[in-house]
């Protein structure tokens, strides 16, 4: 197929390459300089999203936030400007993590222009993007989902159609709540153990064999101990996702106190110049308050 991919950052570039390596013809556009991996490939660079749309049958979007998706869709030289009169019917697949309510509005506008829309946010970070093992949470029409499923399978392993447009994004917000609270829990546990004089390496090893075991303890617990906070998923992006959760909770009349607490810990990091670090660096907010750093014994 002729595939478009807009947004070639930490996540987008390896995801796009999986589609190219599967034999599809790839048309790409990104705000910044083309990543080396894409520039050296057979992908065809396009000047803007409209040009990508004119060339491709299915167009993927992978950008940071709701306003970025809106600009790609409806800005000057955006996707919408190239949809009128296009045949056959094109499919837009937004794999960004954005507002569920905005997603529903975007889908209606794209449908009205004669194209289909699937929201398909992902979980798994840079590691999952490179490995093609992302979890992909989808919202959209079942027939359209089945059309793009073979493409999604090149980028992910656990792929679920949750419901209609917006439901994929709602699921991603729920995912981000769980991940944030787990990072906060692991941070508190390892900080407590370290301050009490225990070796956090051995504490983590012991906990991995019990009911407290989790992927967060395994991966991010190791990051906290080894002090490796190069971004797989930046604090500022997780902040954005928790903001969506709290905004949605307000609209629904819900209280999410633990989510609010995790958001505040991330804000402490951001206020201290750590917004670009991996979200496992949330532990640094607790370390600042406790005046103690998790350290190997």
Strands (DSSP E) found in the chain: 2-6, 25-29, 44-45, 58-61, 91-94, 116-119, 122-123, 134-139, 156-163
| Cα torsion 82, 120, 169, 10: sign | negative
Cα-flanking dihedrals φ and ψ of residue 158, to 5°? -100, 95
Of 90, 104, 147, 172, the catalytic one is 172
Single out the residue of 107, 111, 109 nearest to residue 167, CA to CA.
107
State the DSSP H helix or E strand holding residue 117, giving kind and residue range, or none if neither.
Answer: strand 116-119
**Is 284 assigned a catalytic role?**
no
- Alpha helix (H) residue ranges in 113-234: 125-131, 142-152, 167-195, 200-207, 215-226
Any idea which residues carry the catalytic annotation?
Answer: 172
């Amino acid at each position: 197929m002729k595939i478009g991919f807009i947004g070639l950052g930490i996540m987008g570039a390896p995801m796009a390459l999986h589609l190219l390596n599967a034999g599809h013809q790839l048309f790409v556009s990104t705000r910044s300089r083309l990543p080396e991996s894409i520039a050296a490939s057979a992908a065809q660079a396009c000047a803007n999203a409209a040009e990508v749309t004119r060339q491709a049958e299915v167009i993927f979007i992978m950008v940071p936030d709701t306003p970025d998706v809106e600009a790609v869709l409806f800005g000057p030289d955006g996707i919408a400007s190239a949809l009128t009169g296009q045949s056959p019917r094109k499919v837009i697949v937004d794999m960004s993590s954005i507002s569920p309510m905005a997603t529903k509005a975007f889908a209606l506008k794209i449908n009205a222009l004669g194209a289909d829309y699937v929201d398909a946010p992902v979980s798994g970070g840079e590691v999952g993007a490179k490995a093609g093992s992302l979890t992909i949470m989808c919202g959209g029409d079942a027939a359209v989902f089945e059309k793009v499923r073979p493409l999604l399978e090149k980028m992910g392993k656990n792929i679920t159609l949750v419901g209609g447009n917006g439901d994929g994004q709602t699921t991603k917000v729920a995912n981000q709540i769980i991940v944030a609270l787990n990072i906060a829990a692991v941070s508190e546990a390892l900080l407590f153990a370290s301050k009490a004089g225990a070796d956090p390496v051995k504490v983590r090893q012991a906990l991995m064999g019990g009911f407290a075991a989790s992927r967060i303890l395994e991966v991010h617990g190791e990051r906290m101990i080894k002090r490796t906070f190069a971004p797989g998923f930046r604090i500022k992006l997780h902040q954005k996702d928790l903001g969506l959760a709290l905004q949605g909770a307000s609209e629904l009349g819900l209280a999410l106190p633990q989510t609010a607490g995790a958001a505040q810990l991330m804000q402490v990091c951001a206020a201290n110049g750590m917004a670009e670090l991996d979200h496992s660096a949330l532990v640094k907010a607790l370390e600042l308050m406790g005046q103690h750093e998790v350290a190997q014994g």
